[in-house]
Structure 1
Amino acid sequence: MSDLSRGMSGLSVGSGDMERLRQENRDLKRQLGGGGVKPSLAIPWEDIDLGDQISGGGFSVVYRGYWLRTPVAIKRWFDPEMTDKLLQEFREEVMTLQELSHPNIVQLMGVCSKPPNLAMVTEYLPHSLFHVLHNTNIEVDRKRVISLAKDICCAFIYLHSRSPPVIHRDIKPANFLLDRAWKLKLCDFGLASQNARQAGAGTPAYMAPELLAGTGFNEKVDVYAFGVCLWEMLARLLPFAETPPGQLKEKIIAGGRPEIPLSCPKAMANLIKDCWQQEASLRPSFPKIHNILSDMQ
């Protein structure tokens, strides 16, 4: 008998509680390795040709490179100690992304899962929405904004329709990739979650008040962040750039939001305001947002 089973055998619980405990036990085993990489996705590290670094943060770095002579992006996890936490974060992101297939979500092509070489290989797209908005003079007119916003909606209609819903929790322009035809794809599922674990993690300027407050949350936190991104696409400014980092959390929890440009059409301004409503239940769903955007075209 395992230590967990011995501990459970001494509990006096009803049938409903016992089933809940069994489910939690199954979930824990899945998170810690009970589930695994699909055999068809397993690739040897030696097959990867690592190129220049694209981005990085936390315990992972993203590189461009080649796999079987195909241009790819490689997200590599690193930690000299290879802690259980790092291994769990790697497994969870892999297990989330390998179950997803949608035109507006970056495609997982392979996984290296033997420490110390932990890596995900995905399709390569040359630009991020952040780069286009803030590091170029490329025109992004309202028609283009609506088109990109509808692509985002399609990705989240798919994610939130899954059972249980996949909540991304880190929507921001840096996590939307673009190809040369302006097709948008969502990436970075490191914070994707179906529970309240790590409720305070994320990028503060895009986090809903309930995330910053550390209270319960649902898929409407993604709607909130979408509203901030929509504002950013129109304003081409960084949200809350004028707010000192130490004051940002308090400001958002108190209801503070970026100022919508006067040039923003009324219908678009109203949509942004609806998306970043303080009360999560008042925020629209992504299918409704998609319909509103379609009416603007």
Structure 2
Amino acid sequence: MDTEEKTPVRFTLGKQSSLAPERWTDLLAREDDDDTSNEEEDWNAEDINPGVRLMYAANEGDIDGIKELLDSGIDVNFRDIDDRTALHIAACQGFSDVVKLLLENKAEVDPKDRWGSTPLADAIHYKNHNVIKLLEKHGAKPLMAPMQVKNFREVPEYEIDPEELDFTNCIEIKEGTFQVALWRGTKVAVKMFGDEVISDEDKVRAFRDELALLQKLRHPNVVQFLGAVTQSSPMMIVTEYLPKGDLCSYLKQRGALKPTRALRYALDIARGMNYLHERKPAIIHCDLEPSNILRDDSGHLKVADFGVSKLVEVAKSVKDDRPLSYHDISCRYVAPEVFNKEEYDTKVDVFSFALILQEMIEGCPPFDSKEANEVPKLYAANKRPPFKAPGKSYAHGIKELIQECWSERPEDRPTFKQIIPRLESIFNKFGHGHRHFWKVRPLKCFQRVEAMWKKDGHVDANWADSNRSDSSI
């Protein structure tokens, strides 16, 4: 009789351990189906194992029942045959009030079940964010980060100790994804990958891919990678911080840019993108748009945020097995071949570049009167944003370049290697004309003053002639 009471019992109701193999979960489900009638009788029986009754109460969110059981002396850390505790169950279910009650009654915060899962790991797996915060507040440690190494000698050189990142008074700089932190006395931009990354293979892969790209990039027009946190959770990517913000915010404030500034900015973007495309393998950004282009202190632009970028062998194209969604990219700037889920290459970035160049001159986003998710359909129908700005806003040759860059046929679009010299030629001709214009004005002003002085008899003719010849040099 005594041995039967001490026989370990398996708790099979509710959500199961985040690390339990699928075949084991299926087996438990079949056991549940076979013994449903018996279990229903057991749950109401007076002689059921008190520890399992505690787990059942945690599964139901029964605060009063839990208090009654704990007051009767039931071990708050009771484990079933799979080494699961009531805290595991409450964490899976997302009952933060139950978790709080168990912790207040000295529940072990980091117990591991037979598969190695902790209550925190279970809460992360089921995305129970309030429970995650509560467990962490009580000292729960996350499981090993997906990229964590077993030997300290294998820790990558770029690894940053998260304790060195000071987020005191930090500010968000892009939709909650990027934050400003202080690192060794320098402000840096930190891209956070939340706790849910640990249990999401797609997000872990995206983190690895972005990190692999950033490590290799060194160019004045590409944001500088500084390091990463990979050995603990949350994982982070740390880059240089550019306090002047992104091009999107700048255009919202300034509207249409002067032609010379638009050309200078276009050259910065083109040079950064040419660097990416000329690498072997080439890097396709896939999400080139104003909010992913940052301004530095010297007034130059840098390409940033490679979260959905692709590596592609030269002269080859790629096709996503899992097509990019509107959550991944800004659809106002997406090339039609991406929207149509076709194969694409580096020319998708050239298409986006054309829209950005036009936006800098026009002062408004492409098809700004349309809903964002409707714009790609217009591109697919071979419609393009109209040129509304006065003719003088477009330097000679710019409209033609834009039209070539957003050509319906990717093969007809120029490469950034071809775009750069064309922009330089346009800039030099346009800029030279403006410099000449400013040289003439002081001379006219001088001539008017000279004429007045001559009329009043204050200017010696020889002196005026000599100065006139000096001014014309």
Superposed CA offset, 1:146-178 (max 9, x none): 111111111111111111210001101111111
Give the 3-state SS of the residue equivalent to 1:242 in structure 2. coil
**Judging changes above 3 Å, is the alpha-carbon distance between structure 1 residues 132 and 43 closer, same or farther for their aligned structure 2 residues?**
same
- Once the two structures are TM-superposed, the CA of residue 74 in structure 1 deviates from its matched residue by 0.5
Q: What does residue 283 of structure 1 align with?
A: 413
Superposed CA offset, 1:188-234 (max 9, x none): 00011133224434211101110000000000000000000001111
Structure 2 residue 364 is the aligned partner of structure 1 residue 240:
no
Q: Distance in 2 between matches of 1:246 and 1:189?
A: 22
Q: Report how many aligned residue pairs link the two structures.
A: 261
Q: Runs of 5+ in structure 1 lacking a partner?
A: 1-31
* Amino acid of the structure 1 residue aligned with 2:283: V
* Amino acid of the structure 1 residue aligned with 2:185: R
Superposed CA offset, 1:13-57 (max 9, x none): xxxxxxxxxxxxxxxxxxx97x9x982210111110121111136
* Amino acid of the structure 1 residue aligned with 2:223: V
* Amino acid of the structure 1 residue aligned with 2:324: G
Larger radius of gyration: 2
Q: What does residue 269 of structure 1 align with?
A: 399
Contact 1:75 1:119 (8 Å CA) reproduced: yes
Structure 2 residue 370 is the aligned partner of structure 1 residue 252:
no
- Once the two structures are TM-superposed, the CA of residue 257 in structure 1 deviates from its matched residue by 1.1
Match 1:103 to one of 220, 228, 231: 220
Q: What does residue 211 of structure 1 align with?
A: 338
Structure 2 residue 214 is the aligned partner of structure 1 residue 91:
no
- Once the two structures are TM-superposed, the CA of residue 87 in structure 1 deviates from its matched residue by 1.3
**Judging changes above 3 Å, is the alpha-carbon distance between structure 1 residues 296 and 266 closer, same or farther for their aligned structure 2 residues?**
closer
Q: What does residue 55 of structure 1 align with?
A: 174
Q: Distance in 2 between matches of 1:63 and 1:284?
A: 36
Match 2:247 to one of 124, 129, 142: 129
Q: Distance in 2 between matches of 1:139 and 1:237?
A: 7
* Higher normalized helix content (fraction of residues): 2
Q: What does residue 200 of structure 1 align with?
A: 324
**Judging changes above 3 Å, is the alpha-carbon distance between structure 1 residues 294 and 94 closer, same or farther for their aligned structure 2 residues?**
same
- Once the two structures are TM-superposed, the CA of residue 282 in structure 1 deviates from its matched residue by 0.4
Identity of aligned residues (%): 30
Q: What does residue 12 of structure 1 align with?
A: none
Structure 2 residue 268 is the aligned partner of structure 1 residue 151:
yes
TM-score, with normalisation over the residues of structure 1? 0.82
TM-score, with normalisation over the residues of structure 2? 0.53
Q: What does residue 170 of structure 1 align with?
A: 287
Contact 1:199 1:215 (8 Å CA) reproduced: no
Structure 2 residue 181 is the aligned partner of structure 1 residue 65:
yes
Superposed CA offset, 1:52-78 (max 9, x none): 111136xxx100111111111000111
Query: Mean Cα displacement is larger for which, 243-252 or 223-232?
Result: 243-252
Q: Distance in 2 between matches of 1:239 and 1:63?
A: 28
Give the 3-state SS of the residue equivalent to 1:240 in structure 2. coil
Q: Runs of 5+ in structure 2 lacking a partner?
A: 1-145, 312-317, 428-473
Contact 1:153 1:289 (8 Å CA) reproduced: yes
**Judging changes above 3 Å, is the alpha-carbon distance between structure 1 residues 220 and 81 closer, same or farther for their aligned structure 2 residues?**
closer
Contact 2:361 2:389 (8 Å CA) reproduced: no
Contact 2:246 2:295 (8 Å CA) reproduced: yes
**Judging changes above 3 Å, is the alpha-carbon distance between structure 1 residues 79 and 278 closer, same or farther for their aligned structure 2 residues?**
farther
Give the 3-state SS of the residue equivalent to 1:114 in structure 2. coil
Contact 2:350 2:414 (8 Å CA) reproduced: yes
Contact 1:45 1:117 (8 Å CA) reproduced: no
Give the 3-state SS of the residue equivalent to 2:171 in structure 1. strand
Q: What does residue 226 of structure 1 align with?
A: 353
